[in-house]
Amino acid sequence: MADWLYLIIGIAVVGVLTLAGLLTAGRRKGSAPPGAGTDVIAPPSGEAETATEAPPEPAVDVATAPTLDIPESTASRLVRLRQRLSRSQGGLGKGLLALLSRERLDEDTWEAIEDTLLTADIGVAPTQALVERLRTRLRVEGGQSADPRAVLREELIELVGPDMDRRLQVSGDNGKPGVVLVVGVNGAGKTTTVGKIARILVAEDHSVTLGAADTFRAAAVDQLATWGDRVGVEVVRGPEGGDPASVAFEAVRLGIEQGIDTVLVDTAGRLQNKAGLMDELGKIKRVIEKQAAVTEVLLVLDATTGQNGLIQARVFSEIVDVTGIVLTKLDGSAKGGIVVQVQRELGVPVKLVGLGEGPDDMAPFDAAAFVDALLG
Ligand code: GDP
């Protein structure tokens, strides 16, 4: 009798324990993060508990993906920014056209034309050359019958340089990244330019890494980090006041390791100490070139600074071999003629223009499009 009782109690205990075990297992499975049970991310046996507690990986992507910007395509920004260029530079084109369309092109009119060109920062020598060309052509091609607009358009395009190679060299050789060094005085729009170029490249499906080598300005580093975060681009930064060259080195090293297409390096621009700046930029270039060639050195110039900007440009071109110019803040200056002057000064083309503070307010520079915007 007692044996039967023990047997029934035993069976009941085993049954209850089995049921409890099944329930616990079921609940654990239900609370597992999505994907945690898949073979791909499940750790080897024995670590099952850790897997359950690990942060759900897919959730990280889901959390960051929606915050990424989709930068505007180059084609669409060209149309939009051309209107902005027309607004800021249109006065020059309209002024010239009004003067050239006068019935009699007398000396006073030619003088007024010259003044208009000089006011737009085209520079003395290019202005005189242009006026000479216009005078000859409008005389030879016959006052009334010549179309002053067509002649002016052709001559302006010629002056701006339709045949200059304005492509950005953003690709490297032998599977290495292209390295773009961005230089210029503080305030010219350097950091903004690095951020904007990153967006242009991302819009064209390039992979990009940024190097925040302006280590002396914490704000510049933070600003660059924000630009990078918005488009999912990694930003290499060092300790505040640290060696800018080591940041540049690390950015390029990472770029090579990760098979990145282009590494953009922001630099410091303290012109007060030319020797110091020369040492710093020289060292940055040297350490980069231990790993990969610098494919482009872009000088950022603020279009609103006129002659001052030109003096800065000269100093920088003595320090590094500038290969292209980025003219910023053209939206806030009617002096678009600076394009002509700075290209002559440095012998390198304007490759990009900044036309506003918005993240996609930068476009590749094109001579004909620029002149057409000028003439409205
Ligand atoms: P940095 O000191 O050379 O790195 O200059 P920043 O990139 O910090 O830019 C200085 C200021 O110029 C910022 O307020 C930018 O928003 C502004 N800026 C840069 N590019 C342009 C542009 O093309 N147009 C306008 N309107 N502002 C610009």
CA of 72 to the centre of ligand 1 (A): 19
SS3 323: coil
Q: Is the pTM of this model over 0.85?
A: no
Q: Is 277 exposed, middle or buried (0-12, 13-18, 19+ CB in 10 A)?
A: buried
Of 62-71, 87-96, 296-305, 313-322, give the lowest mean pLDDT range. Answer: 62-71
Tell me the pLDDT band of 89, cut-offs 50, 70 and 90: confident
Tell me the pLDDT band of 74, cut-offs 50, 70 and 90: confident
Tokens describing residue 203? 């819009």
d(CA 351, CA 324): 6
SS3 69: coil
CA of 195 to the centre of ligand 1 (A): 11
Q: Is the pLDDT of residue 243 over 60?
A: yes
The domains found in the chain, sorted by start residue, are 178-322 (3.40.50.300)
Q: What is the DSSP code (8-state) at residue 359?
A: T
CA of 359 to the centre of ligand 1 (A): 11
Q: Which atom of ligand 1 is nearest to the CA of 328?
A: 23
Q: How many CA atoms lie within 13 A of 183 on its CB side?
A: 30
CA of 370 to the centre of ligand 1 (A): 21
Question: pLDDT value at position 143?
Answer: 57
- Identify the residue whose C-alpha is closest to ligand 1 atom 12: 189
CA of 176 to the centre of ligand 1 (A): 30
* CB proximity list for 43: less than 8 A, separation 6 or greater: 50, 51
Which residues form the pocket of ligand 1, taking CB atoms under 6 Å from any ligand atom? 184, 186-192, 220, 328-329, 331-332, 354-357, 361
CA of 357 to the centre of ligand 1 (A): 7
Of 30-39, 47-56, 318-327, 340-349, give the lowest mean pLDDT range. Answer: 30-39
Q: Is 259 exposed, middle or buried (0-12, 13-18, 19+ CB in 10 A)?
A: exposed
Residue bearing tokens 């903004």: 192
Mutate to test the pocket of ligand 1, among 192, 221, 298 (most ligand atoms within 8 A of CB): 192
Mutate to test the pocket of ligand 1, among 77, 182, 357 (most ligand atoms within 8 A of CB): 357
Mean pLDDT of the chain: 84
Tokens describing residue 3? 């044996």
